[in-house]
Structure 1
Amino acid sequence: MTKTLALARGCGEERRFRARGRGPLLAILLSTAASVLPPLASPAYAQSQIAFDIPAGDLGSALAQIGRASGQAISFPAELTRGRTTGPIVGQMSVGEAVARALAGTGLTAVAGSHGSLIIRRAQAAAPAAPAPGGDTLAAIDVADLVGGTGDHGFVAGNTSTSDRLNIPLKENPRSVVGVTKDVIRTQGLTSILDAARNVSNVTVSNGAGQGQGIASYSVRGFDVQNVMIGGRIGPRGINVPIEDVERVDVIKGPTTDLTGVSLPGGGINIIPKVPSAEPIREAAIYLGSRFYRTLAFDLGGPVEGTENLTYRINVSGNTADTAPGGDRSPHDGLISPKVRWDDGETTVTAGVRYADQIVGLSPITVGNYAFNWRPIRVSRERPIGTADAGASFRSLNPYLDFERKLGSVDTDGFGTFDFAVRNRSAYFSNNYTSVGYIFGPSMAAPTVVSPIGNYISVTERKLVTQSDVILTHTLNDYKNTMRFGVDYTTDFMSYLNRLTYPRLRFDARMPPAALPLPSRDGYHAKTYKNFDDIGLAFQDKIDLFDRLHILGSVRQDFYEGRTTYTLTKMVDKADQPALTYNGGAVYDITKWMSVYGTMGTGFTPNQGVLANGQSAPPQFINLSEYGLKFNLLDERLIVTASRFENQYSNVLIYDRSKGGNVLGPGSSSHGLELDVQGQLTDNISLIASVGHTQIRAQGAKPGEVFPGVPPYKGTLFAVYTFTKGPFQGFQFGAGTEAVTWTYSSFGPKLGNSRIPGYATVDAMVGYARENITVSLNVKNLFDHYYYAPTQVPQFIPVGQGRQIMAQARIKF
């Protein structure tokens, strides 16, 4: 894991041009967007003498303080500094001298990396020396993996990476982005990105209607989502990246239009995949768990022998189990994900392809009992409905290519320095998805009697996303302005086939039959074709003053055109929906450990359909306002974010009988409070915790009417104690809980509405790490609590999983 502690103006081996004569005029033109802001005091990134006052202590903490005091990017694998101490470092000195003092006697050295950074490595890994930035004698070797780096350290997420187009430190981002790091994922023994997202406030894994199709959905701030982003690009519906190819799981709160064009409702999950590494990686992982779940995975990477600038990463995994949760047979998951990167310090090219083949079971469900106000009928969690051969198949192919080029710098007299870069990120998604199985259909014959409903779904989706940016960075004393001019293009084609069958059969929901034939695609069915094109033009600007005030804003114009064809009715819906959106916010550091922030903005999602007057409907708009406090405590080892938010939808299509068609009506809104905590309380105790409160209602709803499927309160906590010395050195013990309050199960008046009971589950883990071997044992839902997940319809209620045991071992070789 690479840790990026501060951002600095790249100085490395850049081409520099001296602008004379017309230089001042050129500078004024280039900085038009920020010309109203005055130049400030002394250079923040100059290699001058800096006063350091760093006490003796943890080496990683000392490097963090050097980075903050100087504005110098310092990166290192977290395991290199773990257990090492240094200091004190006191007095006037250059950055290089301070780093050299910190590393003295540790067996580590600093080397020059791309983008003006310093990279900490083992001394024996150093190649022939070359001057480092600032003139200090720091050995220089091949370029480190910093492009799109996460900067994570332990349970603390560092940079936004692809969760923002500028890859800025999370502490400087006025939007709410919470990252669940690789260390959290491994410590909790997670095998799903959705389970990772449970750690974040106001994120509920509520499979909803998607569960009957094998698609696990989730909600963010009360709004359901069934897509995830991969590297900042929205993937096809239902696509799921195997956890062994994931570096971090981010949850972006609020509309995502400035990042993706068409927004995900309420926010969404962004998967940050693993990337090629300049450090050698040789790791094998073995999992063994409940239902005879077993996984074998390999993570291989490092420099390509015989080359100077080429690195690679290969992630391969395969798993299977006797049954899936719910009793369906033979789930499996396969991943092949090779990627390479060429980086000479000025040009970075990353190319890769990800192929995943997955078969998942249909998770257990139940229905409400009409005789008892639609309270859920308790059913077996391990007994399939109709047939044990039900399930969903996902096959996805995802080639991608990322390119970044530093064009050089322009130095001017009196107007600072201008750095130029261009970037393109492109990805193609080919996704084939099939789901076949049964769900319960309510019956009025008796309180627990139901009828099966068979469902066959086949979806084919082809999607191309390309994002191009020109980035200009203007630095003048303590003023820094980073501007991005972007052009995005997305084209998507999807064919959707759905066939329902209704066997003439009734049975007790507690004892469903297991010998029904699989639903077939033959017979009466509807097929739908959807395709859309979206072109987005964007401008984004980040202004940093005194390294204390951070302003981030963007404006984007999208040109969206869509077409939906229904083969059954021969109807065609066309959508021509341009959308102008904006986002703006700021973070102000009140002290070095506390900041206040606020943001507001908009996003859009297209409407499907036309208005009663025959005109194309405008898009739906999502309006966000959010403000709160950020705390960076204990030398940035503990991060706390507290916020209040409000999301509001508008331009929602509503059918009006009197007009014989659709009209624009009020949407829904949610507001609430959030608290997220992650990091280290002490050298021994790490934790990740969250508390969220959400209230959601339909605009124009009558007093007393409620919105289903959204718990008013949700909280999580997971803490780990690691023994760093003594007879138990290397052992870890951890425990955690997830608590979700009750929810309503249908729209309508609160009085007489059915409630889904809340729940609280407890997890536990024990682990041991020694040299190159790590083993752990995780137990989820330790007390085997029976519970129901939130739902929006009483006829479809997901049943939570029982106790799950997972043992894992990781071996570095």
Structure 2
Amino acid sequence: MIYAQTGSLSGIISTDQDEAAEFINIMVEGTGLGTLSNARGEYQIDKIPEGTYWVKFSSFAYSSQKQQVIIKSGENTSMDVILTEGEMQLQTVEILGRAETTYKNTRSFIGTKSSTPLRDVPQSIGYVTKELALDQGAYKVNDVVKNISGVNQFTFYNDITIRGNRVKGQDVNGNLVNGMRAMTSFWKQQLIPHIERVEIIKGPASALFGNSSPGGTINRVTKKPLQEKRQSITSTVGSFNTFRILSDFTGPMTEDNTLLYRLNLGYENSGSFRDLQYSKNLVVAPSFSFLPSDKTVLNFDVVYQKSDGRLDRGQAVFGDGDLYSTPITRSLSMTNDYLKEENINATISLRHQFTDGLSFNSIFMRSDYSEDLLEHRSNNKFANLGDGSEDPSQVEMRAGIRQRTWTNNNFSNYFNYDFSTGLIKHKLLLGYDYFQQTLQPGGSQLQARGYFTADMTGSINSYNVNNKDLYALDAQGNPIPVVAHFDLNELHPNQMMDMTKYFYSTTSFPQTQLHAHGIYIQEQLEIGKLKVLLGLRQDYYTDELDYKTPEEESVTQSALIPRLGLVYELSPRVNVYGTYLQGYEPQTASIINNPEAGGPFDPLTSELMEIGAKGDLFEGRLSATMALYYLTERGALYSANDSGNPDLLVQTGKDLSKGVEFDLVGRITDNWSLVANYSYNEATVEESDDENLIGRQKPNAPKHVGNLWTKYIIASGQFKGLGFGLGTNFVSERFGSLGSTEAPPIFPAYQLVDAAIYYKMNKFQIQMNVNNVLNKTHWVGGYDYLRAFPGAPRNVMTTVSYTF
């Protein structure tokens, strides 16, 4: 018998960012032998016949590399490799999956519309990866934003505050999916089981994306196919009758790896600490990547979401403003209320590399959203008594039935051209974007509110004591409401309401359309240690009111938007930067032309001046960012809090946000992860026609926000695989709606403590998250004392994950 003479090959693969490179393919050419690197970048291949071979190291996330090796019988040969990010990643949206598997993310697409190291982007960009979301047991965007400095929750809804400015999910000016403007629910927070990471580019991003919120822009990056086969199932059960099950499958569909797939599925059926509230959610998110050559990549990505629940308008308290006077569990919903929503985003993206320096990107996204709502809610005031005063224990109510459907179409095309002139490196971007949003015909709303007329055959929206004879009065001489008042003294006031006795006003939503064209150019220069970013965008916005009717009317607005940024490399691990940005956000024509709103109104414009530093610590394991900013905003609209006219708005002349932010994210050691941030922000009204508003803090804009989360896993010994997580989140006091005369309500400061325990064995991991360990009563935000939004009490979630 003849025994083959064999040896082995081993080593460590790392990235040019000094991080371990996981799931790298290592192939010994001509032998059929190969393996994948592990989470520490380590690999080993045994039983290689003696001889000289080429070894190929490859991944779609990194440039391929070949090295020659001599294998000797009975010996182990060591070969360490450093890989750089591959050119295939240089596109506006990520067509292939993220290679990193930690809290840290080293590159950004949203900052420059190309793959750029975060420390080379002259602007603060925060992010939360799927790994951090899993460790914290997070399921929604609002659950994870606390991990980013300068960001906090605004209400229960799909809205957050960034640097003192509110960003609403239904506004396409601050909400992106894979860098494209998306239409989503405003009422329900966005789910993240299909999300690779949540990113926030702070400050106006108008020079890249057109009309955008002054405070910042949220981008949700969906999970993309990977070359390696990975499969996982995760299930969570816990407090408030929570049940969730998620699955994630990815890998090649063909032997030559030219067709890849990924499928994310999610289902939730959960209750709430709030009366009558529940969530039934379904997410189906398939994604496919086709790579016919090393120059062309095509991706098709779909996310379908269906939601069933009730709309929670917040907690109402007694008229003295004592937030503790009613239980935080109490909502104003009735048992026959419902909110049903459907949302679908379908994206097709193409990238082609013409030459080593010239590439083309084309992306189209269709985004549809439909809403079917029946609700009982406060009329934003207490009940009227016959003498014209109000009863501070009775909430005036109204009911509404509404159906609406929106359709968005996004089309983005641009060229990247990389070239050099002498010692100067250039990255030139030239692009064109088109965006269209249509409120589809057929939308309508029924509203029941106010008080019965004297003959009980109609209703009047508000009560006027000077015209008392016009109203139906009860035995005590008080006006009879169309929708029964909500009695705060009752222990269980929620019930099934007989809506057939209401008098309704009917509103039809005429079809409207908004479309925008944007032409932009961007140049990134690199001169030694200095990097310069120059950008200029010309946008044209057109609103079509009463679209496709004889009353059709067009309103057109335009803006020229510049951007300037500088980055200087102080050392190989530390960069400093400065930036100047302008933002432009046109007020929609429906607001401009609404006589009830009190317009006309000027467009919302903003300017940002920011300086900062970005660096890496602990041999690149931990990234640090510090930013100082001065953000001015002109033309912001706020509710006038006029109960007689809920559409009435007031516009401030100038708002100012200024402050400082610190962020740390990454790993101190291989088994010790850390996220920490702090921000100080002064956000006030500086100029307004209403002198009562000047000097006031902006709504739900805390001066101090801090967060810490750390996780430690025991790596060896008897307790190997056992881990612990601990975190705290602090938010200082906030003010509610500005109003115009009365002082705004105050929501107190709070500090929460969260904890977790983990145990991983082979392919199983079980974890238990305890949120709000100290059971602190707190409020995440609110408008007023009839719409306060309490945070969840102590709750426990248990999650089991299986990877196969």
Report how many residues are paired. 693
**What does residue 451 of structure 1 align with?**
396
Deviation at 1:401, TM superposition (A): 0.2
- C-alpha distance in structure 2 between counterparts of 1:621 and 1:192, whole Å: 30
Q: Which of residues 450, 467, 481 is equivalent to 2:426?
A: 481
Equivalent residues of 1:297, 1:315 under 8 A apart: yes
Larger Rg: 2
SS at match of 1:376: coil
Equivalent residues of 1:325, 1:363 under 8 A apart: no
SS at match of 1:342: strand
Asked if 1:177 corresponds to 2:125, the answer is yes
Q: Which of residues 427, 430, 442 is equivalent to 2:381?
A: 442
Deviation at 1:362, TM superposition (A): 3.3
Q: What does 1:506-585 align with in structure 2 at a 5 Å threshold? A: 506-508=486-488, 511-517=491-497, 523-528=504-509, 529-546=511-528, 548-565=529-546, 574-585=554-565
Deviation at 1:221, TM superposition (A): 0.9
Greater strand share, 1 or 2? 2
Equivalent residues of 2:227, 2:257 under 8 A apart: no
Shift in CA distance, 662/687, structure 1 to aligned 2, threshold 3 Å:
closer
Q: Which amino acid aligns with 1:82?
A: A
Deviation at 1:754, TM superposition (A): 3.6
SS at match of 1:525: strand
Q: Which of residues 400, 425, 430 is equivalent to 2:368?
A: 430
Q: Which of residues 241, 255, 258 is equivalent to 1:292?
A: 241
Asked if 1:760 corresponds to 2:751, the answer is yes
Equivalent residues of 2:562, 2:581 under 8 A apart: yes
Deviation at 1:397, TM superposition (A): 1.7
- C-alpha distance in structure 1 between counterparts of 2:19 and 2:423, whole Å: 16
Deviation at 1:241, TM superposition (A): 5.0
Equivalent residues of 1:776, 1:809 under 8 A apart: yes
SS at match of 1:218: strand
SS at match of 2:144: helix
Deviation at 1:710, TM superposition (A): 1.3
Equivalent residues of 1:425, 1:466 under 8 A apart: yes
Shift in CA distance, 363/76, structure 1 to aligned 2, threshold 3 Å:
farther
Alignment deviations for residues 639-687 of structure 1 (CA, whole Å, 9 cap, x no partner): 111111122222558999xxxx999962322111111111112333211
**What does residue 82 of structure 1 align with?**
39
Q: Which of residues 776, 782, 802 is equivalent to 2:793?
A: 802
- C-alpha distance in structure 1 between counterparts of 2:182 and 2:780, whole Å: 25
Asked if 1:589 corresponds to 2:569, the answer is yes
**What does residue 459 of structure 2 align with?**
none
Q: Which amino acid aligns with 1:603?
A: G
Alignment deviations for residues 79-130 of structure 1 (CA, whole Å, 9 cap, x no partner): 94434679xxxxxxxxxxxxxxxxxxxxx96524569713799x9xxxxxxx
**What does residue 627 of structure 1 align with?**
611
Equivalent residues of 1:75, 1:119 under 8 A apart: no
**What does residue 421 of structure 1 align with?**
359
Alignment deviations for residues 160-215 of structure 1 (CA, whole Å, 9 cap, x no partner): 134541121111111111111111111101111221112111111111xxx5xxx3
Q: What does 1:574-723 align with in structure 2 at a 5 Å threshold? A: 574-609=554-589, 619-651=603-635, 666-701=653-688, 702=691, 704-723=695-714
Shift in CA distance, 202/378, structure 1 to aligned 2, threshold 3 Å:
farther
Shift in CA distance, 524/750, structure 1 to aligned 2, threshold 3 Å:
closer
Equivalent residues of 2:12, 2:81 under 8 A apart: no
Identify which range, 187-196 or 606-615, moves more after superposition.
606-615
- C-alpha distance in structure 2 between counterparts of 1:628 and 1:172, whole Å: 12
Asked if 1:400 corresponds to 2:347, the answer is yes
Identify which range, 519-528 or 306-315, moves more after superposition.
519-528
Shift in CA distance, 194/395, structure 1 to aligned 2, threshold 3 Å:
same
Shift in CA distance, 216/390, structure 1 to aligned 2, threshold 3 Å:
farther
Q: Which amino acid aligns with 1:783?
A: L
Equivalent residues of 1:437, 1:519 under 8 A apart: no
Alignment deviations for residues 739-762 of structure 1 (CA, whole Å, 9 cap, x no partner): 111112342799965421111111
SS at match of 2:716: coil
Shift in CA distance, 315/406, structure 1 to aligned 2, threshold 3 Å:
same
Structure 1 gaps of 5+ residues are: 1-56, 87-107, 124-135, 410-418
Q: Compute the TM-score of the two structures, normalised by the length of structure 2.
A: 0.78
**What does residue 733 of structure 2 align with?**
742
C-alpha RMSD over aligned residues: 3.9
Q: Which amino acid aligns with 2:632?
A: Q
SS at match of 1:627: strand
- C-alpha distance in structure 1 between counterparts of 2:18 and 2:790, whole Å: 51
- C-alpha distance in structure 2 between counterparts of 1:370 and 1:241, whole Å: 33
Equivalent residues of 1:532, 1:560 under 8 A apart: yes
Equivalent residues of 1:327, 1:388 under 8 A apart: no
Q: What does 1:37-116 align with in structure 2 at a 5 Å threshold? A: 59=12, 63-64=15-16, 76=24, 80-83=37-40, 110-112=56-58
Deviation at 1:312, TM superposition (A): 0.8
Q: Which of residues 727, 748, 766 is equivalent to 1:775?
A: 766
Equivalent residues of 1:743, 1:755 under 8 A apart: yes
- C-alpha distance in structure 1 between counterparts of 2:66 and 2:194, whole Å: 25
**What does residue 49 of structure 1 align with?**
none
Structure 2 gaps of 5+ residues are: 1-9, 26-34, 44-53, 70-79, 170-174, 384-389, 450-482, 641-647
Alignment deviations for residues 584-623 of structure 1 (CA, whole Å, 9 cap, x no partner): 1122111122221111111211123559999997632221
Alignment deviations for residues 268-317 of structure 1 (CA, whole Å, 9 cap, x no partner): 22101001111111111111121221122221111113444111111112
Q: Which amino acid aligns with 1:434?
A: D
Deviation at 1:564, TM superposition (A): 3.5
SS at match of 2:606: strand
Asked if 1:256 corresponds to 2:200, the answer is no
Q: Which of residues 493, 508, 520 is equivalent to 2:438?
A: 493
Asked if 1:790 corresponds to 2:781, the answer is yes
**What does residue 382 of structure 1 align with?**
329
**What does residue 20 of structure 1 align with?**
none
Shift in CA distance, 380/389, structure 1 to aligned 2, threshold 3 Å:
farther
Deviation at 1:358, TM superposition (A): 1.2
Deviation at 1:150, TM superposition (A): 4.3
**What does residue 129 of structure 1 align with?**
none
Shift in CA distance, 565/380, structure 1 to aligned 2, threshold 3 Å:
farther
Shift in CA distance, 117/783, structure 1 to aligned 2, threshold 3 Å:
same
Q: What does 1:98-497 align with in structure 2 at a 5 Å threshold? A: 110-112=56-58, 117-118=63-64, 148=94, 150=98, 152-207=100-155, 211=156, 215-227=157-169, 228-238=175-185, 241-321=190-270, 323-328=271-276, 330-343=278-291, 344-363=293-312, 365-367=314-316, 369-371=318-320, 374-409=321-356, 419-440=357-378, 441-443=380-382, 445-475=390-420, 479-495=424-440, 497=444
- C-alpha distance in structure 1 between counterparts of 2:337 and 2:185, whole Å: 17
Deviation at 1:383, TM superposition (A): 4.0
Alignment deviations for residues 199-235 of structure 1 (CA, whole Å, 9 cap, x no partner): 111111111xxx5xxx331111111111231101121
Deviation at 1:793, TM superposition (A): 3.1
Deviation at 1:330, TM superposition (A): 4.8
**What does residue 14 of structure 1 align with?**
none
Equivalent residues of 1:164, 1:259 under 8 A apart: yes
SS at match of 2:782: coil
Q: Which amino acid aligns with 1:542?
A: Q
- C-alpha distance in structure 1 between counterparts of 2:200 and 2:786, whole Å: 30
Shift in CA distance, 722/261, structure 1 to aligned 2, threshold 3 Å:
same
Deviation at 1:430, TM superposition (A): 1.1
- C-alpha distance in structure 1 between counterparts of 2:639 and 2:784, whole Å: 21
Identify which range, 698-707 or 666-675, moves more after superposition.
698-707
Equivalent residues of 2:677, 2:708 under 8 A apart: yes
